[in-house]
Amino acid sequence: MATLKEFPAAIPIFPLPNVVFFPKTVLPLHIFEPRYKEMIGECLAHSSVFGIVHAKQDEMAEIGCSAKILDVSKRYEDGRLDILTQGIRRFEVMRHWYDVDKIGFETFVSPDGLHMNDWSYACMAKGLGSAIAEAARRPVLSATAHPVP
Protein backbone atom coordinates (compact mmCIF):
# COMPACT_ATOMS: atom_id res chain seq x y z
CA MET A 1 0.00 0.00 0.00
CA ALA A 2 1.26 3.49 -0.83
CA THR A 3 2.35 5.56 2.11
CA LEU A 4 1.19 9.13 2.56
CA LYS A 5 4.56 10.41 1.31
CA GLU A 6 4.17 8.39 -1.90
CA PHE A 7 0.63 9.62 -2.50
CA PRO A 8 0.40 12.85 -4.53
CA ALA A 9 -1.17 15.91 -2.91
CA ALA A 10 -3.31 16.58 -5.99
CA ILE A 11 -4.65 14.19 -8.60
CA PRO A 12 -6.90 14.65 -11.65
CA ILE A 13 -10.54 13.73 -11.12
CA PHE A 14 -12.69 11.47 -13.29
CA PRO A 15 -16.35 11.92 -12.25
CA LEU A 16 -18.55 8.94 -13.04
CA PRO A 17 -22.34 8.70 -12.71
CA ASN A 18 -23.77 5.54 -11.16
CA VAL A 19 -20.36 4.38 -9.89
CA VAL A 20 -19.02 4.23 -6.35
CA PHE A 21 -15.43 3.01 -6.52
CA PHE A 22 -13.62 1.35 -3.60
CA PRO A 23 -10.00 0.45 -2.82
CA LYS A 24 -8.87 -2.92 -4.20
CA THR A 25 -11.82 -3.15 -6.61
CA VAL A 26 -11.22 -3.48 -10.35
CA LEU A 27 -13.13 -1.33 -12.82
CA PRO A 28 -12.97 -1.41 -16.65
CA LEU A 29 -13.43 2.01 -18.27
CA HIS A 30 -14.02 3.16 -21.84
CA ILE A 31 -12.35 6.56 -22.26
CA PHE A 32 -13.85 8.59 -25.10
CA GLU A 33 -14.17 12.28 -24.13
CA PRO A 34 -11.20 14.42 -25.30
CA ARG A 35 -10.43 15.86 -21.84
CA TYR A 36 -10.37 12.39 -20.28
CA LYS A 37 -8.36 10.92 -23.15
CA GLU A 38 -5.78 13.61 -22.40
CA MET A 39 -5.96 13.00 -18.63
CA ILE A 40 -5.52 9.23 -18.99
CA GLY A 41 -2.73 9.79 -21.52
CA GLU A 42 -0.88 11.89 -18.91
CA CYS A 43 -1.44 9.23 -16.25
CA LEU A 44 -0.06 6.56 -18.57
CA ALA A 45 2.94 8.69 -19.55
CA HIS A 46 3.87 9.39 -15.92
CA SER A 47 2.59 6.18 -14.30
CA SER A 48 0.42 8.36 -12.08
CA VAL A 49 -2.92 7.86 -10.39
CA PHE A 50 -6.22 9.65 -10.91
CA GLY A 51 -9.34 9.93 -8.79
CA ILE A 52 -12.76 8.45 -9.47
CA VAL A 53 -15.65 10.29 -7.82
CA HIS A 54 -19.36 9.51 -7.94
CA ALA A 55 -21.11 12.26 -9.91
CA LYS A 56 -24.79 13.13 -10.02
CA GLN A 57 -25.90 15.89 -12.41
CA ASP A 58 -23.81 18.96 -11.48
CA GLU A 59 -22.53 17.61 -8.16
CA MET A 60 -19.72 15.31 -7.09
CA ALA A 61 -19.36 13.24 -3.96
CA GLU A 62 -16.97 14.55 -1.29
CA ILE A 63 -15.12 11.23 -1.03
CA GLY A 64 -13.58 9.39 -3.95
CA CYS A 65 -11.08 6.62 -4.59
CA SER A 66 -7.73 6.94 -6.34
CA ALA A 67 -7.16 4.55 -9.23
CA LYS A 68 -4.14 3.10 -10.94
CA ILE A 69 -4.25 1.86 -14.51
CA LEU A 70 -3.56 -1.87 -14.57
CA ASP A 71 -3.82 -2.36 -18.32
CA VAL A 72 -4.78 -0.71 -21.59
CA SER A 73 -7.07 -3.35 -23.06
CA LYS A 74 -7.61 -1.61 -26.39
CA ARG A 75 -6.49 1.53 -28.21
CA TYR A 76 -8.80 2.80 -30.92
CA GLU A 77 -7.66 4.75 -33.99
CA ASP A 78 -9.61 7.84 -32.86
CA GLY A 79 -7.77 7.93 -29.51
CA ARG A 80 -10.41 6.19 -27.40
CA LEU A 81 -9.14 3.70 -24.87
CA ASP A 82 -10.41 0.70 -22.95
CA ILE A 83 -8.53 0.51 -19.67
CA LEU A 84 -8.62 -1.64 -16.56
CA THR A 85 -8.23 0.24 -13.27
CA GLN A 86 -7.85 -0.74 -9.63
CA GLY A 87 -8.81 1.28 -6.58
CA ILE A 88 -5.95 2.30 -4.29
CA ARG A 89 -7.24 4.45 -1.44
CA ARG A 90 -10.01 6.85 -0.60
CA PHE A 91 -9.51 10.62 -0.65
CA GLU A 92 -11.43 13.75 0.20
CA VAL A 93 -12.33 16.34 -2.43
CA MET A 94 -11.73 19.89 -1.19
CA ARG A 95 -14.88 21.85 -2.09
CA HIS A 96 -14.40 25.11 -0.18
CA TRP A 97 -11.90 26.55 -2.62
CA TYR A 98 -14.11 25.63 -5.56
CA ASP A 99 -17.20 27.17 -4.02
CA VAL A 100 -15.45 30.39 -2.96
CA ASP A 101 -12.70 30.92 -5.54
CA LYS A 102 -13.95 28.78 -8.46
CA ILE A 103 -10.69 26.80 -8.50
CA GLY A 104 -11.04 23.31 -9.99
CA PHE A 105 -11.77 20.41 -7.65
CA GLU A 106 -8.69 18.49 -8.71
CA THR A 107 -6.46 21.19 -7.25
CA PHE A 108 -7.39 20.34 -3.66
CA VAL A 109 -7.63 16.57 -3.52
CA SER A 110 -6.28 15.37 -0.23
CA PRO A 111 -5.30 11.85 0.85
CA ASP A 112 -6.94 10.16 3.82
CA GLY A 113 -6.45 12.01 7.08
CA LEU A 114 -5.46 15.38 5.58
CA HIS A 115 -7.91 18.16 4.97
CA MET A 116 -5.66 20.41 2.93
CA ASN A 117 -2.46 19.94 1.00
CA ASP A 118 0.46 22.42 1.21
CA TRP A 119 -0.88 24.49 -1.68
CA SER A 120 -4.25 24.77 0.08
CA TYR A 121 -2.57 26.09 3.23
CA ALA A 122 -0.65 28.63 1.15
CA CYS A 123 -3.92 29.83 -0.43
CA MET A 124 -5.55 30.10 2.98
CA ALA A 125 -2.62 32.12 4.34
CA LYS A 126 -2.73 34.43 1.31
CA GLY A 127 -6.49 34.88 1.70
CA LEU A 128 -6.12 35.61 5.40
CA GLY A 129 -3.37 38.15 4.68
CA SER A 130 -5.58 39.87 2.09
CA ALA A 131 -8.51 40.01 4.52
CA ILE A 132 -6.32 41.56 7.23
CA ALA A 133 -4.93 44.13 4.77
CA GLU A 134 -8.47 45.01 3.63
CA ALA A 135 -9.65 45.39 7.23
CA ALA A 136 -6.68 47.66 7.99
CA ARG A 137 -7.72 50.01 5.16
CA ARG A 138 -11.24 50.48 6.55
CA PRO A 139 -12.00 53.43 8.82
CA VAL A 140 -11.78 52.61 12.49
CA LEU A 141 -14.99 52.99 14.42
CA SER A 142 -14.45 53.58 18.08
CA ALA A 143 -16.80 53.54 20.97
CA THR A 144 -16.26 54.93 24.40
CA ALA A 145 -16.92 52.52 27.18
CA HIS A 146 -19.33 53.80 29.77
CA PRO A 147 -19.66 52.13 33.14
CA VAL A 148 -22.98 50.46 33.71
CA PRO A 149 -24.67 51.89 36.86
Reported as a single tens digit per residue, the pLDDT across 42-100 is: 999 989 999 999 988 778 887 889 999 999 999 999 999 999 999 999 887 766 555 66
What's residue 1's pLDDT? 43
Would you kindly state where each structural domain of the chain is located, as residue ranges? 13-136
The pairing of strands 50-56 and 110-111 is unpaired
- pTM of the predicted model over 0.85: no
d(CA 24, CA 47): 18
d(CA 119, CA 140): 33
State the fold for domain 13-136. 2.30.130
